[in-house]
Amino acid sequence: MNTGSFNSSKKLILTHFVVVVICLYFLSLREVSVRRVSIFETWLIEAFAPLQEGTTLFKGKAISLFDDYLLLINASKENRLLKSEVENLKDEIFHLEEIEKENARLKKLLKFGEEIKMDKIMAQIIAKDASAQIHLLRINKGANDGIKLKAPVVTSQGLVGYIFHVSPNYSDILTVLNPNNRVDVIVDRTRTHGILEGNRGNSCRIKYIAKTEPIEKEDLVITAGLGTIYPKGIKVGKISVIEKESYGITQYIEVTPVVDFHRLEEVMVLLGTEEKQTK
């Protein structure tokens, strides 16, 4: 290897390095160029700077307002979605509560039905008499479901009436409030017999009870089991009015039914009689 050539290269590199260092040193000593602004330029700056400042401020506020508007739009959409979800949840809760109430009523009705040794059909009321007195009810079960004419209809509270019209899928009930529906009844406390039929308003009337019978208000009235329609021992109502008829030998007696016909939703149709079921 040529030692002289290697030494020459080293000297060359060192020389270049020294030159670069010297140049950088003198550049660092160089003063920054400064130019004096003219009067006209000063006037332009003073005149247009506020406008530039206002433009910049307006631009910033416009951007901020636009961002706020977008946020409001998004918030409004989210609120609508949340309100819709809340309404849906309220509907679901309402339906669940209604199902729970219906289940409670049906359980109570089924428990009551266990005491009656007869075939039974559960039905829902789908229509009621439009008048103040509920004389007629329509249920969602008919001949295809085994419903028969003159079948007694009850609820957990007591007697509703009997089936007087049957179609394949629906049936009509003549309630105890109807004057044409006559029920053989007895006063539970005294075992006094009478005939109950619909009266004015939402009440019934018991006929053919003698003045001498010691009937009192709040006495419970039940079915007597006579005839071919109603089984014995179904609650009908409580005595609410008693008047001694001065011109006759009987008492004027009104009965308030134990069934609240305005709130009635489900019923139980009884098929056959207890005597037939025990054979």
Is 124 found in the same domain as 111? Answer: no
Nearest to 160 by CA among 144, 141, 136: 136
237 assigned to some structural domain: yes
CATH number of the domain where residue 170 is located: 2.40.10.340
Is 201 found in the same domain as 145? Answer: yes
State the pLDDT at residue 238: 96
Q: Give the integer Cα–Cα distance in Å for 225 and 233.
A: 7
Is 203 found in the same domain as 89? Answer: no
Is 205 found in the same domain as 68? Answer: no
Is 232 found in the same domain as 138? Answer: yes
18 assigned to some structural domain: no
For residue 225, which amino acid is it?
G
State the pLDDT at residue 186: 95
39 assigned to some structural domain: no
Domain termination site, one of 115, 130, 157: 115
16 assigned to some structural domain: no
Domain termination site, one of 99, 115, 131: 115
Is 108 found in the same domain as 141? Answer: no
State the pLDDT at residue 49: 63
Is 58 found in the same domain as 157? Answer: no
9 assigned to some structural domain: no
State the pLDDT at residue 274: 47
State the pLDDT at residue 6: 57
Report phi then psi at 13, rounded to 5. Answer: -65, -40
pLDDT tens figures, 28-62: 555 545 556 567 666 666 666 666 666 777 666 67
Nearest to 123 by CA among 93, 161, 97: 161
187 assigned to some structural domain: yes
The two three-digit tokens of residue 27, written as one number: 């550049």
Is 123 found in the same domain as 102? Answer: no
Domain of 215, in residue numbers:
119-274
Residues of the chain with pLDDT under 70: 1-12, 16-38, 40-54, 58-61, 94-95, 98, 101-102, 105-116, 132, 245-246, 273-279
Is 193 found in the same domain as 87? Answer: no
206 assigned to some structural domain: yes
Is 240 found in the same domain as 134? Answer: yes
Is 99 found in the same domain as 237? Answer: no
Domain termination site, one of 96, 115, 134: 115
The two three-digit tokens of residue 260, written as one number: 């609240």
Cβ-count burial of 116 within 10 angstroms (0-12 exposed, 13-18 middle, 19+ buried)? middle
Strands 220-223 and 136-139: unpaired
Give the total number of structural domains in the chain: 2
140 assigned to some structural domain: yes
Q: Give the integer Cα–Cα distance in Å for 14 and 31.
A: 29
State the pLDDT at residue 36: 63
Is 211 found in the same domain as 89? Answer: no
Secondary structure (3-state) at 260: coil
